[in-house]
Copies of this chain bind each other. A is one copy, B any other.
Amino acid sequence: MQVHSSGKIFREQKVVSVTRKDQVYTILRQAIISSQLSPGEAIRKEIVAAQLGVSRTPVSDAINRLADEGLVEIYPQTGTFVARLWLDKIETAQFVRLALETAAIRRAAERITPDTLTLFRQNLEQQRRAAERLDFEQFYELDEALHDMICDAAGLVGLREIASKERSQIDRVRRLLLHYETRMMETLIEHEAIIEAIAEKDPERAARTMEAHILQMGKLLMHLREKRPELFGS
């Protein structure tokens, strides 16, 4: 594992600073969201540290951050576990996501530029191709990227990071749902409707369309809970 490859700072503005704890954080987060690590599974700090070739410190730091984000559960003096799925927490995350993204899309619709719109449409085109070849993973990534782009289009510094963090729980669930996902085409059509509303600078319609889109996930979630109860908490 590389050491801080470049911690450049202009004293007023942090350019980039990739410390080991940041790298460990990114690796673990990715592993959790992609379900390489299963909900409920123990995380042994010492082993993770050994595997990544670092000491326990940056691993602990990364795990603390993940705990804040709700992706791991730390039981003091006992152990650290990949967080199980809690329906009530998912409900809250869904609510927050809905509130933030509908508000963001309203702003985006008001201040959309042709350039950004072109980026949106390129993304949609790629989504269409991914859907046609049934490439779930790729489709999912493009989906996430589109939501990020909409956040950026709202023109608020740091909003994407906040939205992305609050979406962690949802992203995990969506990943697990991928293989039960049969509505890729429907999802694509919803995305197109959202972008269309933005293009027409119609904030209200954009927000309502986004809302309908986000709420689709609820039913699938119940399906997952029946199929894989072991992933869920109490």
Contacts and interface: CB of A to CB of B under 8 A. Distances in A.
Contacts of A17: 76
Interface of A: 4, 7, 9, 11-14, 17, 19, 61, 64-65, 68, 73, 75-78, 86, 88-89, 91-92, 95-96, 98-100, 102-104, 107, 154, 156-159, 162, 166, 233-234
Given A14-B75, A65-B68, A91 B156 contact: yes
A7 B64 contact: no
B9 A96 contact: no
B92 A162 contact: yes
A162 B96 contact: yes
Contacts of A78: 9
A143 B156 CA distance: 26
Contact of A7 (B65, B77, B99, B102): B77
22 contacts: A4-B76, A7-B76, A9-B75, A9-B78, A12-B233, A14-B73, A17-B76, A61-B61, A61-B64, A64-B64, A88-B157, A89-B157, A91-B156, A92-B156, A92-B158, A92-B159, A92-B162, A95-B107, A95-B154, A96-B100, A96-B162, A99-B100
A166 B156 contact: no
Contacts of A107: 95
Contact of A95 (B13, B156, B166, B233): B156
A96 B7 contact: no
A41 to B, nearest CB: 16
Contacts of A157: 86, 88-89, 91-92
Contacts of A19: 76
A219 to B, nearest CB: 19
Nearest to A9: B75
A65 B67 CA distance: 11
Nearest to A99: B103
Contact of A98 (B92, B95, B103): B103
Given A91-B156, A95-B154, A99-B104, 18 more contacts: A4-B76, A13-B234, A14-B73, A86-B157, A88-B158, A89-B158, A91-B157, A92-B156, A92-B158, A92-B162, A95-B107, A95-B156, A96-B100, A98-B103, A99-B99, A99-B100, A99-B102, A100-B100
